[in-house]
Amino acid sequence: MNNGELRVYGYRWVVLAAFVLIASMTQVLWITFAPITRAAAEFYHTSDLMIGLLSMSFMIVYIVLFLPAAWMIDTLGFSAAVRFGAILTAVFALMRGVFAANFTIVFIAQVGLAAGQPFIIGAITKIAVRWFPASERATASGIGALALYLGPLAAMILTPALVVRNGLPRTLLLYGIAAAVAAAFFLVVAREHPPTPAGRDERVLMFEGLKTMLRRRDFLLLLVLFFIGLGMFNGISTWIEDIVRPRGFTITQAGWLGGLMLIGGIVGAVVMPMLSDKLRRRKPFLVIALAGLIPGLVGMTFATGYGLLLVSGFVFGFFLLSAGPLGFQYGAEITSPAPEGTSNSLLLVIGQVSGIIFIFAMDGLKSKATGAMTAPLVALALLTVACLGLATMLRESPISGTRAAK
């Protein structure tokens, strides 16, 4: 490829849109049961924890498959990896819908869906570097990361309403059909490279890059931040109904809380990376994100009024979820020339590990008498304060010393 001729193409937005669509569906399928935990437990005659395990399976499988997925993304290209993940997603989403009344088959299908996820969401920064100039890469990563929020948003808001109207089996079938359509769209429109490069892309082999990035102090600090941040997001998303149920809120209200949290995240994931690209700074925005989420988390912990609860969820989501794309891009920049897919996948997998820990810990720390999750939420707020201190120790990205994109 001739790196001397750099050009951007409008088709980059089509590729990114196709990615966002299929990646969003993986997140819908992951978090389907979170806002209807009690209803699903009653339908399948099982416990809340078993329903929580349907979501947790995504985290466990990601840990097992993140290295093969990262290798495929960085060696064969994001297009091949995402196509593979999209096919798995379509097949197992339809299987889950067709056999929705059988909990055993639903669980097996959920594991199959989980196997497709790392091949898709691990490609966020690879798409940015393939198709976008350096001056747009944090923005492209932010839009790509919207999939991590758009999917749960749709699931949080739509699932309770669809289950009330259509029942659980038909809802799962509708989600299966939507996943198949999204997969087909990506298969048709995705391209690995534009005709000419959009920016400089000099990378080393995956395992060499992996060894290098694990020796870098700032990347290790970033791993700690993702461990806490993604663990918190996964834990709160999984137990969203359990968090508000003891205060008398309904499953529909729990769904709207999760939805407002994710709407805030979508706004933050667009606004904060755009400002970061404009000012060519990463660290200040990571610090702001961690500081800003604390009031929202405190509000979600103690609010008894529905309006305050929704505002708190929006604030929490805006700041927590805006940190994701900023962190992905910062990690890719400070570990260059390590492959983006490797840094992206490593940050995600640490969040899956912490998600499993946080889900069990939140369930274990909740009040045995009332089911209230005040204690685990306060613990998360204290961990966030510690993360804020760590974020101030990060060094700025090399992008701050470069000219606006080449």
91-113 tens-digit pLDDT: 999 999 999 999 999 999 999 99
Residue 93 to residue 112: CA distance in whole angstroms: 9
pLDDT of residue 163: 92
Is the pLDDT at 206 greater than 70, yes or no? no
Residue 225 to residue 323: CA distance in whole angstroms: 10
Domain boundaries, the chain: 12-192+204-400
pLDDT of residue 273: 84
Residue 397 to residue 377: CA distance in whole angstroms: 32
Average pLDDT of the chain? 86
Number of neighbouring beta carbons within 10 Å of residue 392: 11
* Cα–Cα distances in angstroms (integers) from residue 142 to residues 38, 222, 274, in the given order: 33, 17, 8
Residue 318 to residue 268: CA distance in whole angstroms: 5
Residue 229 to residue 293: CA distance in whole angstroms: 10
Closest C-alpha among 226, 256, 266, 197 to residue 391: 226
Q: Which amino acid is at 398?
A: P
pLDDT band of residue 404 (cuts 50, 70, 90) is: very low
pTM: 0.72
Closest C-alpha among 13, 1, 398, 401 to residue 199: 1
Residue 355: partners with Cβ closer than 8 Å, 6 or more residues away: 56, 59, 230, 231, 233, 234, 235, 238
Number of neighbouring beta carbons within 10 Å of residue 204: 17
Largest Cα–Cα separation, the chain: 67
CATH class of 12-192+204-400: mainly alpha
pLDDT band of residue 2 (cuts 50, 70, 90) is: very low
Residue 99 to residue 278: CA distance in whole angstroms: 49
Burial degree of 191 (CB within 10 A; 0-12, 13-18, 19+):
middle
pLDDT band of residue 299 (cuts 50, 70, 90) is: very high
Question: 260-296, pLDDT tens digit by residue?
Answer: 888 898 898 888 888 888 888 889 999 999 999 999 9
The mean pLDDT of 156-184, rounded to a whole number, is: 93
Question: 114-149, pLDDT tens digit by residue?
Answer: 999 999 988 887 888 888 887 777 778 778 877 877
